[in-house]
A = this chain, B = another copy of it.
Amino acid sequence: MAFSERVTRLKSSLIREILAAAQRPDMMSFAGGLPAEAMLPQSEWSDMPRSMGQYGMSEGEPQLREALAAQARALGIACEASQVMIVSGSQQTLDLAAKLYIDKGTEILLEGPTYLAALQIFQLFGADCLTVPLLAEGPDLDVLRQRLERHAPSFAYLIPTFQNPSAVRYSEEARDAVAALLDEFGVTLIEDEPYRDLTFDGGSAKPIVSRLKKASWIYTGTVSKTLMPGLRVGYLIATPDLFAHLLKLKQSADLHTNRVGQWQALRWIGSDHYQQHLMELRGFYRTRRDQFEAALQRHFSDLAQWNSPQGGLFFWLTLKEKIDTRTLLDTALAQNVAFMPGEPFFTDPDANPGYLRLNFSHIDPARLDEGLKRLAAVIRHAQAAHAA
């Protein structure tokens, strides 16, 4: 069987395997980044014109592109609708970027930790991943400068707002500094912002792409975290030097994004009822965050450290006593608890033991305490065995 060379690097998505295992109805899952079922809006379809059944444009629906460009301009991103492309979920932005930039051995720059599924697709294409450690308010700027001085990465992939998995939100100063460095070294920025609208304290620092003066950029977002992931509607906005290439790559990947999902997204984006929905969503998740943290305090205060997330969907736990949390997964699943080990979010998992990513948006509050109690017991038991 003669597969491509890249297939030797083809890894499964651990998160989707855990989610598959977590389908059992009695499972208490902290694993995914799923919206709460209760907050999936009731969708209306009766007005959808029959023409949405026909083939569409590779760029996406013109009105939706206009609405997203307006939304981006309101965030300070200078752009036109002609720079907006609708993609099949923002994961597809990463696939298109991988095709555009990555050959075997191409250097790229990532946060450590970074989004698992970005690592998966970038490494599949053969990227050589440079990482910059994330601190509480953004990347370690000294390391970032050092990396840029010694390497010429094809792009930097950053998630500056409620990062997945760490929940870190870059400060204003960090955003400015990162933009200045990327401009100085002429490195393209891919800025991934699925969580921007899920803010609990009202913070709204402008995207880094809006602070760039010279460097090329791709900004990507999605309706998956605020409306309905099942629509598979995301978008990218890119500088004109990149857009034409990305469009051809989109054509060859799947012709265009599904139009029914685009039509539904357009019923929301830019509307008052979307703003209303976002307000409700923030309140709902803020409450879940608080409930989760209270339960964490009860069961994990001696085991781990964490910062309270000001947005997004995750707590990121650092175990006080390091242990590879991947080794805990089977035991936890056997006790009907699913969680996401933190190690796979690093380019070198073995060198970074002792982190857990816990989702707080999806768990039934009635089972939250029991789930965290069981998970803490699994950790305690493993650490005791380890110490023995």
Contact = CB atoms under 8 A, between A and B. Distances in A.
Contacts of A10: 245, 248-249
Contacts of A229: 53-55
A89 B254 contact: yes
A260 B231 contact: yes
Contact of A152 (B2, B43, B100, B256): B2
A73 interface: no
B101 A2 contact: yes
Contact of A54 (B37, B57, B255): B37
A88 B50 contact: no
A204 to B, nearest CB: 26
Given A2-B101, A229-B55, A261-B258, A252 B13 contact: yes
A383 interface: no
Copies in the complex: 2
Interface residues of A, number: 78
Contact of A4 (B43, B101, B259): B101
A83 interface: no
A227 B260 CA distance: 13
Contacts of A1: 216, 241
Interface stretch (A91-99, A320-328, A366-374): A91-99
Interface stretch (A117-125, A195-203, A272-280): A117-125
Given A4-B103, A16-B58, A103-B6, A232 B256 contact: yes
22 contacts: A2-B101, A3-B154, A7-B100, A10-B245, A10-B248, A12-B248, A12-B251, A13-B248, A13-B252, A37-B50, A40-B51, A54-B228, A54-B229, A55-B224, A88-B88, A88-B258, A117-B252, A120-B252, A231-B260, A232-B254, A232-B256, A232-B259
